[in-house]
Structure 1
C-alpha cells in the first residue's frame, strides 16, 4: 500500500485493499496500527473521508502518523472543521512538527491567514518549539492571503535567522510573497541576492512585474531568462492581456508558437481575450484552428472565451456553433451564461430566454451572472414583461437574491415599460436604494419616454 500510494498507483492500491477484505485481514486493521495508517491514507486518496474516520475511530493504538494522516487527508480535501477537531483531540506529546505544519498550511489555504499565523506562534511557544522549512511555506501563503508586507518581512527575517534562505523553494516562495504583496522592490532585491535560481524563481518575479504593470522590466527579465517554460510565456502573455495590451500579447503568443512551446488552457484563454480586445476575428479563428488541429482539449474557460470572442467580433453564428457542438454534460453555468449574454448583445432576447429555459430544464443551476445576462438581454430587446417575470422568480424559484446590478436592470425594465410609480416604489423598498446607479435608471427611462 505504501509503495502504491507513493507512486500514485491508485488502482493497484484498491486491489490491495480488496485483498485485505477477501482474506479477512480487514477485520484486524484496528489492532494493526502500521497497516491501518496506510489504509487511512488510501481512503483519503479515494476521497472517502467517512471511511477514514470510521477506521480511525476503531483503532486500538494511534501514533503520530495516524493523526498526521487524518490531518493531511482532511486538509487535502479542504475540510477545515474536521482538521481542527483531529488536531484539538491529539493527546499531549503526540503533536510533532508535521502536525503543526499541516495545520498551518490548512488554515492558510482555507483563507484563515490570521489563525495560521497564530498557529505558528503557538508552535514556536510549545515544548520544543521546533519548526522546519515547511512551516514557512504555510506561513508565506498566509502572508499573501492577508496582503501584509510587514508580516512577510518578519517571516523573511526568521527564515534568514534559521538558515533556510539557501533553500530554493523557501527563497522562491519569499520572492512570490513579496511580489503578491506589491513589494516588487523587495522581491527584486531578494532575487538578486539568490546564488541559485531555477525557472520557477525567474517566472515568479516575471509574474510580479507583469501584475504590477511594469512591462519594461517584465520583458527585459523575460529576455534574460536562461530557460523558459510555458508558465513563463503564459505569465507575460496573461499580464499583457490583463492590462489591455492585446497586440503585445498576440505578438508574444505568435513567437511562443513558432518556438514550439505548447500553450496551456490559461495561455489560450489569455490569447482569445486579446483577440476580443482588438476585435480581431482573424487571429481568433487562427487560434481556434490550432485547437482543432492539435486535438487540444479545452476547458470551460477556454470555450467560454472562444464563444465570447466570436460574439464580440461580430460572428455570433460561429460562437453558437461552438456552443451547439457541446453535449449537455460539458456545458457548465459559465458556458450557458456566455451564450445567453452573446444573444443579448446582438439583440436576440428571445433566443436568450429560450436558452435560459433550456438551461433550467436540464437541471443546471443559474447563478447571479446568469440573471445579469438574461435581464440585460430582455432590456436590450424590449422584452419588458418577460424580464420583469424572470426577476420576480429569481429568489423564489432559483434561490438567487438580487444584487445592485439586478435591481438596476429591473428598474430599467419597469421604467421602459412605463411603470414609473412601481419603479420608484421598488427603489424605496430595496436595501440598496441609495445606489446612484439604481436611482439613475428610472430617470434615464423617464427621459427616453419624454
Structure 2
C-alpha cells in the first residue's frame, strides 16, 4: 500500500539560520508590497478584451505576457477569481524579470505565495531567477524554502544570488548543503562558488572546490578555469593561478585578462607585463579590460613611455571615451605624479562616475596636494555624486595632511550615515585624521568601536600617540598588538620613534630584535629609524654599527648620523663626515645644512659656517630657510659678534621668526648685552607671546646682568599669563622599565632614597669644596640645599638612575624642556663625584656629562 504524500517542510534540508531567518518568521506584509490593484482606463480594458481569445484566464494571461502588456497582465492576475496555472505565472515572472519591473514582480510573487502552499520546480525556478535578479535574496530564500523539489538550476540561482549580494560565506554554505543533498554541480555552479571563495578570500575552500572541479570532469571548461585563476589570484596565490593558466589547452581573452590582472593584484607587475607582451605576440586581441588593467600597472611601474603607448592603443581601438578606461588613465597618471595630465583626462570626460572623482581625490592626496584633493571633493558634492568608502577614506587622508578637523568631522558623520564605519579602510583613515589633528582621544574612541582591526589600524594608533607626544601609550599599544597581529615595518618605525623620544634604550633593543626575527631589517625607513634610536639614546657606537651595515644608505641615513655627531659635541667629526658623504656622491639637502651649521655654532667655527652657508646656494642650489638663518644668528651670537648677528637679521630676504630672534636673545644672555637682548625679546615675544621658554631666557639675561627690578617685572608678567608653572618631566629607563618624574615630584615610591642620595652628594660636594654659589636674587648670598637640589625633574631622574643601576653604568635621561644653568652645573659635578657617565637629552640638545665636563662645551651655560 503506497504511503500518502506528505506536505513538504517549509525549511530546506540545510540550516544557515545564523544568517537567515526562518520563512515563517518573515510575514508576507514585510516581504512584498501591499496588493493594491490599479484601475485600468477604458482604453486598457479594451486592449484586454481585444487580446482575450478564451474564457480561460490562464490563457489570457499568457497572451498578455507574450505581447509584453505587463500592466494589463497584472490587473488580470489580481482581478481573477481563480489563480492561473503554473505556465501563466512563469510567463508573468519572466516578463517582470526582462522588464526589471521590481514592484509588479513582487506583487505577482505575493499573489502566488497566497495561493500556493509550495511551489513546483518550474514555477519556483522562475520566481527565484526574478527575485535574485532584483537583489531580493530574503524573498528568494522564502521561495526556495517552499520548493519540495530543487534541481541544479535552483541551487545555482541561490548560490550566485547570495554571492552577488555580498553574502559570500552564506553562498559557500549553500554550496556545501547542495553537495550534501546529492545534487551534482554543473559548469555554471563552479564560477559562482569560486567568485565567493575569492571574495572572502578563502584559499582552503577554493582548493576544495578545485578538487570538485576535477572530480566532476570540468577541468577542461574555459569558464571554470578562468574562475579558478581569478580565485587563486584574489587569495594571493599567483603561483597556483599561473599553473591553472599554463595547463589550459584552450584560452579566450578572459583567460589572459584573469592571469594578467592576477599578477598585477599580487604585486608582480613586471611578470604581468611580460604576459601581456606574450598575449600580443600570440596575436590575441586585447579588449577594454586588458588595456585598462595594463594601463594602471604601467603607472605603478613608473614606465611613462609604455603608459603613453597604452593610451595610444586605447584611442586606436576606440576605448578613449570609455569611463572605466578614463578612470584607469587618471590612476596611471596619478601614479606617475603627472596630475596635470590626469586633470586633463578628467576634464575631457563626458560622463564621470564615483570612481572618476575618487581617482582624482586620491591622486592629489598621494602626490602632496591635499588642498586640491579637498577642492575636488567639494566639487563632487556640488555635482551630487555620492561618494563611496574609498572616496571618503581619500578625503580623510587629505584632511589629515592639512589638519582640517572641520571637514574630517563632517566626513565622519557622512561615513556613519552611509554605513561605512564597518569598512576598515574608512575607520583607519579616521584614526589617522584625528591623530594628526591632535584629537587622539577621539581616535581612541573610533579604534575601540572598530569591529575588526588590522596592522594598519594598530600602526596608525601607535604613530598617532607618538605624534601627540604620548609615547608611553604608543609602547603600551605596541605590546598589546603583538599578542594578536604581526607588525610590519611601519609599526616598528612608530614604536622605535616612541623609544627614541623617551630614551627607552632597552625597549628599543627588544624591538630591534623583533625586527631581525621578522627579517625586515632593511625595509624602507626602518634602518634609519634604528640609527635614530641609538643616536638619541646616546649610543653612537651602536648607531655607527647600524649605519655601516645599512646597505642602501640615503641622505636621511647620513643626516641622522651627522646630527648624532653634532648632538654629542663632535663638530669636527661632523664636518669630516660631511666631506665623506659628498665623496660618496650623496647630495646633501636642507636638513644636512641645518646639522652642519649647528655643528659650527656649537664649535665656534665662524669661517666654516659662512663657507657652508654660501655653498648652499652657490654649489648645491639650496635656498636657505628660517632654520638656516637661525643657525647663522646663533653662530654669530655665541662667539660674541652680536652686532653682525643683528645686521644679518636685518638683511634677511625673508621675515625672521621667533627662533631667529630667540637665537640673538640667547647670545645676548651669554654675553650680557641687555639693550640688544631687550630688542630681541621685544620681537620674539610679539611673535610667541605665550612661550615660557623665551620668558625664562629673558629672566636669565636680567639675572646674569643683575637687573633685579626688570627680572621681577618679567616674572610678574609670567604669573599673570599663567606661564610660571614648571611642567618639566624627565624619563629614565631602568631594567627595561621607563620611570617618569615631574618637577618637585614626591609621588615616586623611592622618593626618600632619592632625597637621601641627593643629600649625600651635596655633603660630598661641600666637603670637596666644589659646592657652587649661584644667585638669582640680590638677597641670596649663601648657597643652600634648596638652591642646589631644587627638585627639577632631571635631577630626580639622575638620582633614581644612580640608585638602581650598577656602578659604572651609564645613566641616560630624557627631558621635555631646556636644562637650566643650575642643573647643568650640578650634573657636571655629580658626574665627577660618582665617576659615572650621565646623558641628559633635553628639548634643545644632548648633554653627555663625564668627569665634571659636558660635551656641549658649556655653550649657553657660561
- Residues 22-45 of structure 1: CA deviation (Å, up to 9, x unaligned): x332x132xx12222234446653
Superposed displacement of residue 259, structure 1 = 1.8
**Do residues 325 (structure 1) and 410 (structure 2) align?**
yes
Across the aligned residues of Structure 1 and Structure 2, the Cα RMSD in angstroms comes to: 4.2
- Measured at CA, do residues 292 and 68 of structure 1 come closer, stay the same or move farther in structure 2, by a change above 3 Å? closer
- Map 1:218-367 onto structure 2 (within 5 A): 218-225=307-314, 226=316, 227=318, 228=320, 229-242=322-335, 245-246=336-337, 248=338, 250-280=339-369, 283-284=372-373, 286-312=375-401, 315-316=402-403, 319-326=404-411, 327=413, 328-330=416-418, 332=421, 334-342=425-433, 344-345=435-436, 348=438, 351-353=439-441, 355-359=442-446, 363-365=449-451, 367=453
Superposed displacement of residue 261, structure 1 = 3.8
**Do residues 372 (structure 1) and 459 (structure 2) align?**
yes
Structure 1 gap ranges (5+): 160-164
Superposed displacement of residue 356, structure 1 = 2.3
TM-score normalized by the length of structure 2:
0.41
Contact 2:129 2:157 in 1 (8 A): yes
**Do residues 14 (structure 1) and 106 (structure 2) align?**
yes
Superposed displacement of residue 360, structure 1 = 6.3
TM-score normalized by the length of structure 1:
0.73
**Do residues 152 (structure 1) and 241 (structure 2) align?**
no
- Measured at CA, do residues 419 and 63 of structure 1 come closer, stay the same or move farther in structure 2, by a change above 3 Å? closer
Structure 2 gap ranges (5+): 1-92, 539-812, 815-838, 840-862
- Measured at CA, do residues 56 and 321 of structure 1 come closer, stay the same or move farther in structure 2, by a change above 3 Å? same
Give the equivalent residue in structure 1 for 2:177. 86
**Do residues 68 (structure 1) and 68 (structure 2) align?**
no
- Residues 352-372 of structure 1: CA deviation (Å, up to 9, x unaligned): 22x2255368x5547343442
- Measured at CA, do residues 134 and 7 of structure 1 come closer, stay the same or move farther in structure 2, by a change above 3 Å? farther
Superposed displacement of residue 82, structure 1 = 1.6
Superposed displacement of residue 222, structure 1 = 0.9
- Measured at CA, do residues 189 and 375 of structure 1 come closer, stay the same or move farther in structure 2, by a change above 3 Å? closer
How far apart in 1 are the matches of 2:310 and 2:394? 29
Contact 2:96 2:104 in 1 (8 A): yes
- Measured at CA, do residues 260 and 59 of structure 1 come closer, stay the same or move farther in structure 2, by a change above 3 Å? closer
Greater helix share, 1 or 2? 1
Q: Which moved more, 1:333-342 or 1:287-296?
A: 333-342
Contact 2:331 2:359 in 1 (8 A): yes
Give the equivalent residue in structure 1 for 2:136. 46
- Residues 367-414 of structure 1: CA deviation (Å, up to 9, x unaligned): 34344233323223322455566668879xxx9757466576457546
Pairing partner for 1:33 from 118, 121, 146:
121
- Residues 107-135 of structure 1: CA deviation (Å, up to 9, x unaligned): 455453544543433233xxxx6965532
Contact 1:104 1:119 in 2 (8 A): no
Superposed displacement of residue 340, structure 1 = 4.0
Q: How many residues align?
A: 413
How far apart in 1 are the matches of 2:445 and 2:275? 53
Pairing partner for 2:189 from 94, 99, 108:
99
- Map 1:98-177 onto structure 2 (within 5 A): 98-107=188-197, 109=199, 110-112=201-203, 113-124=206-217, 132-142=221-231, 144-145=233-234, 146-148=237-239, 149-155=242-248, 157-159=249-251, 165=252, 169=254, 173=258, 176=261
- Measured at CA, do residues 191 and 19 of structure 1 come closer, stay the same or move farther in structure 2, by a change above 3 Å? farther
- Measured at CA, do residues 171 and 340 of structure 1 come closer, stay the same or move farther in structure 2, by a change above 3 Å? closer
Contact 1:412 1:445 in 2 (8 A): no
How far apart in 1 are the matches of 2:331 and 2:367? 15
How far apart in 2 are the matches of 1:197 and 1:417? 57
- Residues 267-291 of structure 1: CA deviation (Å, up to 9, x unaligned): 4344334333443356435424532
Pairing partner for 1:185 from 250, 274, 280:
274
3-state SS, counterpart of residue 97 of structure 1: coil
Pairing partner for 1:59 from 139, 142, 147:
147
Contact 1:411 1:426 in 2 (8 A): no
- Higher CA-based Rg: 2
How far apart in 2 are the matches of 1:410 and 1:172? 42
- Measured at CA, do residues 130 and 360 of structure 1 come closer, stay the same or move farther in structure 2, by a change above 3 Å? closer
Compare relative contact order (CA 8 Å, sep 6+) and give the higher one, 1 or 2: 1
